[in-house]
Amino acid sequence: MSKPIIIGIAGGSASGKTSISRRLKKQFDNERSVLIIRQDDYYKDQSDKPMEERIKTNYDHPFAFDNDLLLEHIQKLSAGETVEKPTYDFVNHTRSDVTETCYPCDVLILEGLFVLEDENIRSLLDIKIFVDTDADVRFIRRLIRDVKERGREVDNIVSQYLDTVRPMHEQFIEPSKRYADIIIPEGGHNLVAIDLLVTKINSVIHV
């Protein structure tokens, strides 16, 4: 198998990165194997820390991620090797005991907050995308998601957003937009942008 096309999708929390990833996978999965790797699954393991310490972690800072492991896995997949990808337990704030077997693919979609911020990861990307969604929309999406899917309390979500999510977005994520080849407003709802992106990916695949 030849080296996969690697697509990086970055953007703020709840900007629509996952929606775009899923739409792209659906578009290409009939003719090619498509793998989605979520940077969120590469949060550092905190099983050696008590819960009160885990909760204090700034999950919106690049240091919260095990990017060395992520980089290693991308390189192995690019070389045709299979990897055991970690998964993250957002309720217990640590890496889960469950792993996912990821096989070599034709198209590798890497999505996450800091996909474009990290120079080593960025250098591996064939197409770099930034999802640019208004802050109020992102906050509402995050609030609904964290209550329904991650068992968080509203007060905790609001304080985390004000204390870390918003300032870290302004410091690290928003500036990484300058590295993008394509900027998509409004995430998965922007069907025109997604159609254009599909055309671009096809042009790369069929070179």
| Residue-averaged pLDDT of the chain | 91
| In the chain, alpha helices (H) | 17-28, 51-55, 67-78, 119-122, 135-150, 154-160, 166-168, 191-205
Q: Which of 14, 153, 38, 151 is nearest to 93 (CA)?
A: 151
Instruction: Report pLDDT digits (tens) over 25-39.
Output: 888 877 788 899 999
Higher pLDDT, 189 or 75: 75
Cα 111 from chain centre: 3
Instruction: Report pLDDT digits (tens) over 43-78.
Output: 999 999 999 899 888 999 999 999 999 999 999 999
Residues 197-201 have a mean pLDDT of: 83
pLDDT at 74: 97
Quick one: fold of 5-205? Rossmann fold (3.40.50)
| pLDDT tops 70 at residue 1 | no
Confidence of residue 207 (pLDDT cuts 50, 70, 90): low
